[in-house]
Amino acid sequence: MTAQIQYCDDETFWNRLDANDRDTRIYVDADALLYRASDQQTAIVIQNLSIHGVRATTDFPPLVGEAIEIDLAGQGRFQGVVRWRHQNKFGVHTFEHIDLNLFSDQIE
């Protein structure tokens, strides 16, 4: 089965989804590094996490469909694909589940 990549140009798109269609999220304010296939690294701020991905901000967000890796100091590295992007925000679907317990000390 091929993952469907969705471009999101409506900031409220994800908020309109039925709550049963979304994983539980925890809200954080965590600095991290984003690595692209070109080995370019970009500073990002993780805004929320679920077991399947993250929402983050940066001055130069990756493109929809781009494969990336996120390094969250002390919490691990996560690989995934960018599913949506809007202005300086973007969402990543990770290839592995994220253990949310690792982030309990960063919950706002």
Q: Decide if pLDDT at 18 tops 70.
A: no
Q: How far apart are CA 7 and CA 74, in angstroms?
A: 31
Query: Which of 16-20, 38-42, 82-86 is the most confident on average?
Result: 82-86
3-state secondary structure of 33: strand
Instruction: Name the residue among 4, 15, 19, 3 with its Cα closest to residue 86.
Output: 15
CATH number given to 14-101: 2.40.10.220
59: phi then psi, degrees, rounded to nearest 5: -70, -30
Per-domain boundaries in the chain: 14-101
Please provide the average confidence, as pLDDT, over all residues in the chain: 80
Candidate from 14-18, 49-53, 63-67 with smallest mean pLDDT: 14-18
Structure-block tokens of residue 99: 């253990």
Q: How far is Cα of residue 40 from the mean position of the Cα atoms in its chain?
A: 17
Least trusted range by pLDDT, from 18-27, 84-93, 97-106: 18-27
